[in-house]
Amino acid sequence: MTRLALVGLGFMGQTHFRLHQASPDVEFVTVCDKLPARVAPQTVSLAGNIGGDPTPLDMSALQRFTSLDDLLVSAEVDCVDICTPTYLHAEQAIRCLEAGKHVICEKPMALNVEEGQRMIDAARAAGKFLFIGQCIRFWPAYEVLARLVADGSLGRIISAKFTRLSATPGWSENGWLLDSCLSGGALLDLHIHDVDFIASLWGLPPAVSTTASNRFSTGDPVDHVFTEYLYDDFACVAEGGWAMPGGFPFQMAFQVLGEKGVLDFSTQQDPALVFYPFDGDKYAPEVEPGVGYAREMEYFFSCIASNQSPTRVTPEDALRSVRLCLAERESAAIGLAVDL
């Protein structure tokens, strides 16, 4: 069974922690955070934009480190799960790969294409798997959409619209998420979920045209983004932002219109996923239970167990998504479409 280390016990690391503790697929061996309080035997729970479990985390049975270097020297693990701030992903993933570990790393892969490429090169050189947690690929309602697009059930696609909106994240350690030099802002951190999903369905678009604004960031506009993906044969847009007021509920949604009808998903409606056919009555398609975080890990750990390279979210896919986001940022900054 895969012996696992988890690095970075902030909001997302704690989410992964609870999943690893309950997972039958891994032997959860060790945790690491630079803040000693985050790897104390009993650690207080943090909350993020998608809520959180208030139960304290019990780390008493695990090896606990405050330095990744110490962990890599002392802990016997096969795989490291990296949930640290984005500006550390490349450096830490490369260190783990060079130490002979498989790596699962939170999205976004890296802050720029060069860093992401170095991660890919390190994985190849080490002969280890690198998997980026683009969890929306594994989110059940989005999996239904992917299936209906792939098998032609929606017919020819006419339009597609994706939305992801959140209150401003207030939980990050030292506020790093709000510094767009460290996180890439909402454009790279939040909106990348839809960017990655769109590219997974329809490939890299020939060009993107983005308009964006800032509420608190300085520099390039990254707080609230509208992008048009200039595919040749259908209209495709996405909106993403985390500049909403504190009371605004986290929201993700899509409407994809094909010749056979529209598939409509929103976290603000019940049932969340509805198909409205042109021919017949609306119905709620069957959606598998669970959340993308758990399902992506189950997939990755099964790849490690069977020694099969992951084919869902390759590192090259994740790098393509970073590249697309950066093209969107450039488009917003110069006020023109950017070719890809």
> Which residues form the interface with ligand NAD (CB under 6 A)?
7-13, 32-35, 38, 48, 68, 83-86, 88, 106-107, 133, 135, 171-173, 176, 189
- In the complex, the smallest distance separating the C-beta of residue 276 from ligand NAD, rounded to whole angstroms, is 28
- In the complex, the smallest distance separating the C-beta of residue 173 from ligand NAD, rounded to whole angstroms, is 4
- In the complex, the smallest distance separating the C-beta of residue 50 from ligand NAD, rounded to whole angstroms, is 7
- Encoded tokens for 316: 């090259």
Query: Cβ(199)–Cβ(317) under 8 Å?
Result: yes
Q: Please, which residue, 176 or 276, has the CB nearer to ligand NAD?
A: 176
Query: Cβ(111)–Cβ(91) under 8 Å?
Result: no
**Which residues partner with 6 through β-bridges?**
31, 81
- In the complex, the smallest distance separating the C-beta of residue 184 from ligand NAD, rounded to whole angstroms, is 9
Q: Please, which residue, 258 or 310, has the CB nearer to ligand NAD?
A: 310
Sign of the torsion formed by the C-alpha atoms of 252, 213, 245 and 168 = positive
Q: Please, which residue, 174 or 307, has the CB nearer to ligand NAD?
A: 174
- In the complex, the smallest distance separating the C-beta of residue 52 from ligand NAD, rounded to whole angstroms, is 11
What is the 8-class DSSP label of residue 257? E
Which residues, in sequence order, are CB contacts of 175 under 8 Å at separation 6+? none
Amino acid identity of residue 208, one-letter, is V
Amino acid identity of residue 309, one-letter, is S
Q: Please, which residue, 168 or 209, has the CB nearer to ligand NAD?
A: 168
Sign of the torsion formed by the C-alpha atoms of 155, 161, 166 and 169 = positive
Q: Please, which residue, 9 or 145, has the CB nearer to ligand NAD?
A: 9
